[in-house]
């Protein structure tokens, strides 16, 4: 069996491409605008709207995998409110449409990322999760709330990381939507717990979870804690660059920082609990771009014989700029 994993494709449809400069317009403070521009130009990604061709390159280099997992973040989320924004939703539909056209719906498994649901902008503090975005994950993207697939001696699980980690996003929710979010989280966690609990003792678990912030929240489920010895790997996205993943491991256990805004609090709280990643055997699938300064983007493949009990062999591929 050969598996292809892609993550953080951040595909920009025509409506999002028309929003050049969207990030700076969302930052009223001139100093913050300058800092954001320096971060993007100096390290992260100078033009987030200009990389659709990288998905085409990955598809061309992987013509016939047996299974494909897309691990979240299909649009640029240029309005910061996820799929509830029609332009963002159109981008995500086009991105997943390209994957389905290449591989067929039967071979594609996909999970939503944080940008599908909406999130506060890093510098401007605008936007946030919208419940309509969660509705559109199913109604427009045709993605299940969560999924499982048994192949040989492995059980593959895909979960919506931002919903699982909802307590970390509570301050960003619209007050009137919070009860609906909590009810959906309880329902989805019940299903995930049941799937984990029903995993036979001879199976190994491979989890696909976009944002590792969700992992400590999964570990709070007794069913998950009981099966952690059967965990073979957890494939995350969200961090884009292997360098950022290494930094996150170095900072694991740092104190939570309060008083500098919800984004800093959320990131530091996630790092405070990041030591839990080891129990889940975390492995990053980078974005196609990675960090622009390092040109370290790419994708993952995995190969294994489903008739044998050998561990899955994972390979990270670098995508040249």
Give the mean pLDDT of the chain.
95
SS3 213: helix
Q: Is the pLDDT of residue 321 over 60?
A: yes
H helical segments located in the chain: 14-17, 22-25, 30-42, 52-61, 86-103, 114-117, 131-139, 161-164, 166-169, 178-197, 215-219, 222-227, 242-251, 262-272, 277-280
Q: What is the DSSP letter of 230?
A: G
Residue with tokens 């996003």: 169
Angstrom distance (rounded) from CA 2 to CA 156: 14
User: What is the count of structural domains for the chain?
Assistant: 1
Model confidence, pTM: 0.95
Q: Which domain holds residue 142?
A: 2-318
Classify strands 154-159 and 67-70 as parallel, antiparallel or unpaired: unpaired
pLDDT band at 254 (very low <50, low <70, confident <90, very high): confident
The whole-number pLDDT of residue 263 equals 62
pLDDT at 268: 76
Parallel, antiparallel or unpaired: strands 231-236 and 204-209: parallel
DSSP helix/strand/coil, 320? coil
Report how far residue 283's alpha carbon sits from residue 302's, in angstroms, rounded to the nearest whole number. Answer: 12
CATH of the domain at 257: 3.60.21
């Amino acid at each position: 069996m050969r598996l292809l994993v892609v993550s953080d494709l951040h595909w920009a449809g025509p409506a999002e491409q028309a929003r050049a400069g969207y990030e700076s317009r969302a930052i009223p403070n001139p100093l913050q605008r300058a800092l954001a521009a320096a971060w993007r130009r100096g390290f992260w990604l100078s033009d987030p709207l200009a990389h659709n061709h990288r998905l085409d390159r990955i598809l061309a280099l992987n013509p016939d995998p047996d299974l494909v997992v897309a691990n979240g973040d299909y649009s640029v989320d240029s309005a910061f409110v996820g799929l509830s924004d029609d332009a963002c939703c159109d981008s995500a539909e086009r991105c997943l449409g390209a994957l389905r056209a290449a591989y067929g719906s039967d071979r594609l498994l996909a999970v939503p990322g944080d940008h599908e649901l909406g999130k506060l902008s890093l510098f401007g503090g605008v936007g946030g999760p919208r419940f309509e975005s969660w509705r559109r994950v199913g109604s427009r993207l045709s993605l299940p709330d969560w999924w499982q697939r048994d192949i040989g001696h492995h059980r593959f699980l895909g979960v919506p990381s931002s919903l699982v980690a909802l307590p970390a996003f509570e301050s960003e929710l619209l007050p009137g939507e919070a009860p609906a979010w909590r009810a959906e989280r309880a329902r989805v966690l019940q299903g995930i717990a049941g799937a984990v609990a029903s995993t036979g003792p001879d199976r190994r678990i491979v989890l696909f979870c976009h944002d590792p912030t969700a992992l400590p929240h999964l570990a709070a489920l007794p069913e998950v804690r009981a099966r952690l010895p059967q965990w073979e790997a957890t494939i995350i996205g969200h961090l884009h660059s292997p360098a950022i993943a290494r930094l996150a491991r170095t900072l694991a256990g740092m104190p939570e920082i309060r008083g500098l805004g919800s984004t800093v609090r959320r990131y530091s709280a996630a790092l405070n609990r990041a030591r839990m990643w080891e129990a889940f055997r975390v492995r990053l699938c980078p974005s196609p771009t990675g960090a622009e300064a390092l040109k370290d983007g790419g994708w993952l493949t995995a190969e294994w014989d489903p008739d044998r009990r050998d561990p899955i062999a994972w390979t990270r591929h670098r995508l040249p700029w």
